[in-house]
């Protein structure tokens, strides 16, 4: 046999020109194996086990844990090592990574691989697992992953989890994983200012969590028990003053989580008997909503009449979803408002009508009394289209904005404001009788031009939006 023919018989010389290729070729092979790992095989039944052949030297140069296991003072001398805290498929992927720097990650094995990466001190594998989880995070699974990110001290993954929670709060708290979280996680959640959810929906989720805890602990599901399970930090973190009175009465009161005194005081607050709620914050959760303020000063004494109307033109340079428009009010007063939004062609794209009670508003300009007109579904505003916002308001004099800006930029979106002439068709029968010949003019109508709100002063204090 020639020398070249003899060389072909050796596995080292068959298309394995690098050390990494040669290591990869002996992965899960009996060739030169000096240890076997015995692991349960989930696919073969609860008692089924499988063996993974391995090489002590390869494992030891990759993991301090395996080095200590095979070359430390108390080195393992047996030919086989039984592993009881994982399954065959997961440990096989860990070894695949050690031998080849590759791992077949999927949603079913990534959490166990992260656990094993931490156990065997394989930071590169842990990083791969963390990156995979971050890429596949959403509101449906975030509360399944967040506790493990805390447990394994994966800071980047944990930070990303909280970002997803803040952005997709409503979906996250309705997921199956939410009711499994520890109270400490719920405490951190409820105190965040950046949640994107209505307060009543957050309360429903917290009430559900408390109910599941009662079930786990074999306790009667009643208000006082749920209050004790939740603890004062969580209950005080719920921003009941942000709810509508109807929501509070229908949902919160029936839960019996609040004490009689707390419920009584909040009802007094909703009915303007108390100026500020006792024991609960009324600071709005910003969520991922962008909020732009178009004024730089606050004033008092803006009056309304049956002929007045407030209109402003708005153009944005990027597509956005408008969630609410904030208007000015005054202390302990309610306003009847009809809001109409028209596109550049004059077509109505959104309307909202109702009575709105003024509440305390914190803004970058200062604190004032105002109210939000929220759209049931966000209104899509296209870029470079001038939209007209018209609010017909009935109520007592209110505060108003001054030193208005022509343009405001926030979250990468530039808002441009324009004064819009609003012509109101008004019939002045008595006035016309005095000034006009009825036979010549009849009941003539004429237009009264008003500039109640404009770029410099008036209503439309803030706009709440997300990127489209």
The fold for domain 156-270 equals: 1.25.40
Examine the pLDDT at 11 and tell me if it is beyond 80.
no
Examine the pLDDT at 221 and tell me if it is beyond 60.
yes
Quick: pLDDT tens for 51-60: 999 999 999 9
- Class of the 3-118 domain? alpha beta
pLDDT of residue 440: 38
Could you give the C-alpha distances from 88 to 44, 52, 70, 99, in angstroms and in order? 10, 8, 21, 16
Orientation of helix 123-135 relative to helix 155-167, angle to 10°: 10
User: Using CA atoms, how far apart are residues 350 and 159, in angstroms rounded to an integer?
Assistant: 37
pLDDT of residue 451: 42
| 86 in Cβ contact with 112 (< 8 Å) | yes
Has this prediction a pTM greater than 0.75? no
Quick: pLDDT tens for 270-302: 888 887 777 898 877 766 678 899 999 999 999
Domain ranges of the chain: 3-118, 156-270, 290-467
Quick: pLDDT tens for 172-184: 999 999 999 999 9
| 10 in Cβ contact with 32 (< 8 Å) | no
User: Using CA atoms, how far apart are residues 327 and 463, in angstroms rounded to an integer?
Assistant: 9
* 192 φ, ψ (degrees, to nearest 5): -75, 135
Query: Per-residue pLDDT averaged across 223-228, rounded?
Result: 95
Secondary structure letter of residue 248 according to DSSP: I
* 209 φ, ψ (degrees, to nearest 5): -60, -45
Mean pLDDT of the chain: 86
pLDDT of residue 279: 86
User: Using CA atoms, how far apart are residues 122 and 414, in angstroms rounded to an integer?
Assistant: 47
Q: pLDDT band for position 366 (50/70/90)?
A: confident
pLDDT of residue 189: 96
- The 3-state DSSP class for residue 337 equals strand
pLDDT of residue 466: 83
Could you give the C-alpha distances from 35 to 14, 27, 83, 96, 142, in angstroms and in order? 25, 13, 13, 16, 39
Top-confidence residue, 200 or 421:
200
- Class of the 290-467 domain? mainly beta
| 458 in Cβ contact with 360 (< 8 Å) | no
Strand order in the sheet with 413-419: 348-357, 334-342, 387-394, 310-316, 413-419, 407-410
Long-range pairs of 353-356 with CB within 8 A, sequence gap ≥ 24: 356/327, 356/329
Percent of the chain with pLDDT over 70: 88
Examine the pLDDT at 432 and tell me if it is beyond 50.
no
Judged on CB neighbours under 10 Å (0-12, 13-18, 19+), 263 is: middle
Query: Per-residue pLDDT averaged across 432-459, rounded?
Result: 54
Highest mean pLDDT among 8-22, 155-169, 440-454: 155-169
Examine the pLDDT at 191 and tell me if it is beyond 50.
yes
Residues in the chain: 468
Out of 2-11, 98-107, 201-210, 441-450, pick the least confident.
441-450
Quick: pLDDT tens for 380-431: 999 999 999 999 999 999 999 999 999 999 888 999 999 986 544 333 334 4
User: Using CA atoms, how far apart are residues 407 and 280, in angstroms rounded to an integer?
Assistant: 36
Neighbours of 159 (CB within 10 A): 11
| 163 in Cβ contact with 139 (< 8 Å) | no
Pair of tokens at residue 119: 């156990």
Examine the pLDDT at 243 and tell me if it is beyond 80.
yes
Query: Per-residue pLDDT averaged across 192-221, rounded?
Result: 93
Q: Which of 287, 240, 242 is nearest to 265 (CA)?
A: 240
Say which residues have a Cβ less than 8 Å from residue 394's Cβ, sequence separation at least 6: 304, 306, 335, 336, 337
């Amino acid at each position: 046999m020639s020398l070249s023919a003899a060389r072909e018989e050796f596995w080292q010389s068959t298309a394995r020109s690098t050390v990494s290729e040669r290591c990869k070729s002996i992965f899960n092979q009996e060739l030169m194996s000096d240890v076997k790992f015995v692991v349960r095989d989930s696919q073969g039944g609860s008692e089924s086990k499988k063996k993974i052949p391995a090489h002590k030297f390869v494992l030891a140069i990759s993991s301090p844990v395996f080095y200590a296991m095979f070359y430390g003072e108390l080195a393992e001398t047996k030919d086989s090592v039984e592993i009881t805290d994982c399954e065959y498929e997961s440990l096989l992927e860990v070894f695949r990574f050690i031998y080849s720097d590759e791992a077949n990650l999927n949603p079913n094995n990534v959490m166990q691989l992260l656990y094993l990466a931490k156990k065997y001190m394989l930071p590169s594998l842990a990083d791969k697992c963390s990156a995979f989880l971050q890429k596949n995070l959403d509101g449906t699974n975030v509360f399944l992953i967040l506790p493990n990110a805390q447990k394994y001290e994966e800071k980047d993954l944990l930070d990303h989890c909280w970002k997803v929670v803040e952005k997709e709060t409503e979906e996250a708290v309705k997921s199956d994983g939410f009711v499994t979280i520890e109270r400490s996680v719920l405490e951190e959640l409820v105190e965040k200012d950046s949640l994107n959810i209505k307060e009543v929906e957050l309360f429903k989720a917290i009430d559900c969590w408390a109910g599941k805890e009662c079930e786990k602990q074999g306790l009667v599901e009643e208000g006082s028990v749920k209050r004790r399970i939740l603890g004062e930090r969580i209950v005080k973190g719920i921003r009941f003053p942000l709810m509508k009175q109807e929501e509070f009465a229908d949902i919160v009161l029936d839960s019996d989580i609040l004490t009689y005194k707390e419920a009584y005081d909040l009802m007094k607050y909703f009915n303007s008997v108390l100026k500020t709620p006792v024991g609960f914050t009324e600071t709005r959760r910003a969520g991922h909503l962008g909020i732009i303020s178009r004024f730089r000063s606050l004033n008092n004494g803006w009056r309304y009449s049956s002929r007045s109307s407030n209109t402003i033109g708005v153009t944005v340079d990027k597509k956005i979803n408008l969630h609410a428009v904030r208007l000015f009010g005054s202390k302990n007063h309610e306003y009847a408002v009809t809001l109409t939004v028209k596109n550049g062609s004059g077509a109505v794209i959104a309307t909202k009508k109702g009575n709105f009670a003024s509440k305390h508003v914190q803004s970058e300009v200062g604190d004032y009394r105002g109210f939000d007109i929220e759209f049931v579904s966000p209104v899509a505003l296209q870029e470079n289209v001038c939209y007209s916002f018209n609010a017909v308001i009935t109520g007592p004099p209110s505060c108003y904005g001054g030193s208005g800006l022509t343009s405001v930029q926030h979250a990468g979106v530039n808002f441009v404001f324009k004064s819009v002439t609003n012509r109101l068709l008004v019939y002045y029968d008595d006035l016309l009788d005095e000034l006009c010949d009825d036979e010549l003019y009849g009941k003539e109508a004429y237009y009264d031009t008003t500039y109640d709100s404009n770029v410099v002063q008036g209503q439309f204090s803030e706009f709440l939006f997300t990127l489209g």
